[in-house]
Chain A
């Protein structure tokens, strides 16, 4: 080891090491996609790259869902973020916490239970409108989490000025807080948009053919991998635009956050119809998202077909361990990539670390096919492929929060630490890790919840005798035996709930407004 210079960044060898690590990780992240593209272009199978009538319809449906779910989720997430952060109304504290609960519900479970309940009462739950409702309910918490963080930490002084000038909650929201929160809201919409493009089970059940349905159909049913990769590229372009928009907005948010700080403000008390509306707005979405599966469970107890308890423990244990492993993996790799971006001032590294996060853009089914192409000839173990897939798919979830949080830590802190004689590993341990505890935890928990619910990768890549909760639920549900799916589905909800609730301490802290600089602990530096 050569000596490190007393600068904020690691020395030459440290940087080479980091650069090599980044390149290796990016290669790992991109390999499945490269394998797919190579297979589609070099292979003999499949027709031309035409979209066809089905393809155009799938693209149109995906766009419709993106726009509608984005718009509805933006309104719902922002409104609930604002009123639970800056207003008081009956039950406000609990209702604020309730907003993250829908994260626990997999969209396919919500769709399956809605369809089943509906068909018992002669209601046809079918088509794009229902798909929009289901996806909005399951993804609006992303917008809520990010926008309420912004409402809690930024623009305190400006809001104070509003109050002293006699501007009410609506005026302050419209003229000050909303423009400041736009980047965060945009980032939330982008995250939910990626979920929408990836969704498979719910849209299949509701009879809305989207791109992810089309990709699978072309590949496996039509035996047309080229057509499938063509559609996947369309999906990739859509998500790339979302990611680019999200990054652009984040860049703007850095400027805004300078106006943060200031003392915690008293909240606006709401009464009369405003209070009623607020209660409704914050009660209904979590009630539907979590309540529908629970209602269905309560009404289906007479068809409960219990698995042996030992089997349930095994299924739950596997889901838990896989999710934990994926959370740790993505957090560690995300931290490495984020730090590399901070310390190595090369545009190449910046772009590469961006590329590594693009796995989130690839529908799980496509990623699974790519990994299978690699795993077959190299005889890689299915479990290794599965964890590789999780890492690839969910890295962005862990990394995006870290990138944003690192931008809020002034580089002068790194320099001060090195000035005091810390080497760079020590800077990470003594400066960054404590400051990043919040976003590391939040990113890890989000990945955990996502993996517990994850379906296409687990379904396609798991080894012999290795079912998980989500796999079992999907198998039963797709075979129309919801009674047998009941207990595993409740366990998924339970695991998801536990992780969602773990996100809450930061949120509750923000709700108390005890310390406005620590307020956004759920997704920003602690």
Chain B
């Protein structure tokens, strides 16, 4: 009975045969937040569909799914970053999904043109500035990071970071290869310290004045501001000014039904739930990310202000990532 009641709460979900054994789906996820688990439990509570979870690095999951082939126990693959979603579709790991609610809830540029994967949350890569060293108004676009005025003041994460790779891929699409190459050269010339391997120490270095400018994802800063990393980090983050370049680079977390799925229906319902305004909000809030539309209710994100997202589709970005990596490495961004 609870099952029937649950289905009606879910709204647009397909009806489940009364009396059918409760379904179970396997989820491979490149995200690992405890709050995600709470969300999957909520899904189970609403639909009666149990979720088995395996969280690991995105690339390792792609490799695992590939080797398991048709025998894979995974029904849904959740990946972070557009390029990885694109790679998984190229490898034939997803199957197309038709869903009215997904078409409605996921903006066109945040899903695959063949409906193989759908964006669930948005993450924005922004410029952070230490106002004592650099005037925040002097940076309007990512191109400004190559300005000679920033010589010796820029700190960057290394080129292994998929967030940087997708950022450069987008610049390739927006500005073409020659301009992107010149931009990379200018930025590398401005770099002050060896490339960082993570965002949080980079944000700390900018806040302490070891660098004047850095590039990070908003949620690392939001975590610091929320006090998740302790009081010292909270005070440090308060010194930073967030600059949304125009247009801002937006990356996504996305998911698709696997080709091996034996339970397409249930798998689709989970993705629908995660993309729906209520489910998606939970997914985004878990990590201080932005929902698919708007700015959400997170007070810290609201304080950052609004931004204009680039209109490049996640699919286009994914297709240019390889070229971006080569260009970064050829120009000294290791």
Enumerate chain A interface residues (CB-CB to B < 8 A): 54, 115-116, 118-120, 122, 124, 126-127, 204-207, 216-217, 219-221, 223, 300, 302-303, 305, 307, 369, 372-373, 375-377, 379, 459-460, 462-467, 475-476, 478-484
Contact = CB atoms under 8 A, between A and B. Distances in A.
9 contacts: A116-B201, A119-B201, A204-B197, A207-B158, A207-B197, A376-B69, A465-B53, A480-B200, A481-B229
A480 B67 contact: no
B230 A303 contact: yes
A120 B73 contact: no
B205 A483 contact: no
B205 A119 contact: yes
Interface in B155-196: 158, 160, 193-196
B63 A480 contact: no
Interface in B230-271: 230-233
B268 to A, nearest CB: 20
Contacts of B210: 122
Contacts of A206: 197
A370 to B, nearest CB: 10
A462 B59 CA distance: 15
A520 B259 CA distance: 58
B186 to A, nearest CB: 22
Contact of A376 (B71, B193, B198): B71
A481 B198 CA distance: 11
Closest 5 CB pairs of A and B: A119-B201, A220-B59, A376-B67, A464-B52, A303-B230
Contacts of B302: none
Interface in B179-229: 193-201, 204-205, 208, 210, 220, 223, 227-229
Nearest to A124: B193
A483 B229 contact: yes
Contact of A459 (B56, B67, B201, B227): B56
B32 interface: yes
A126 B231 CA distance: 25
A318 to B, nearest CB: 14
Interface string B292-323: 00000000000000000000000000000000
Given A220-B59, A465-B54, A460 B231 contact: no
Interface of B: 26, 32, 34, 52-57, 59-60, 62-64, 67-69, 71, 73, 87, 158, 160, 193-201, 204-205, 208, 210, 220, 223, 227-233, 329
B204 A464 contact: no
Contacts of A479: 32
A127 B232 contact: no
A303 to B, nearest CB: 4
Contact of A126 (B53, B73, B194, B232): B194
Contacts of A54: 329
A359 to B, nearest CB: 19
A221 B321 CA distance: 11
Contact of A476 (B32, B158, B195): B32
Contacts of B228: 303, 305, 481, 483
A45 to B, nearest CB: 10
Contacts of B71: 376-377, 379
Given A217-B160, A221-B59, 10 more contacts: A115-B197, A118-B201, A119-B200, A120-B232, A120-B233, A204-B197, A375-B67, A459-B57, A460-B60, A481-B229
Given A119-B204, A126-B194, A375-B67, A480 B199 contact: yes
A302 B55 contact: no
B231 A302 contact: yes
A483 B233 CA distance: 12
Contacts of A217: 160
Given A369-B63, A480-B199, A122 B205 contact: yes
A467 B269 CA distance: 26
Contacts of A126: 193-194, 196-197
B69 A377 contact: yes
A302 B73 CA distance: 40
A208 B236 CA distance: 28
Contacts of B64: 372, 460
A186 to B, nearest CB: 34
Contacts of B63: 219-220, 369, 372, 460
Contacts of B62: 220
B166 to A, nearest CB: 13
A369 B69 CA distance: 14
Given A375-B67, A460-B64, A462-B54, A307 B197 contact: no
Contacts of A379: 71
A220 B232 CA distance: 37
B73 A464 contact: yes
A51 to B, nearest CB: 15
Nearest to B90: A223
Nearest to B54: A464
A19 B67 CA distance: 33
Contacts of B158: 207
A372 B67 contact: yes
Interface centre among B68, B193, B229 (most CB of A within 10 A): B229
A521 B233 CA distance: 49
Contact of B198 (A459, A464, A480): A480
A465 B205 CA distance: 37
A124 B194 CA distance: 9
Nearest to A307: B34
A124 B191 CA distance: 14
A435 to B, nearest CB: 44
A120 B54 contact: no
Given A119-B204, A120-B204, A124-B193, A475 B229 contact: no
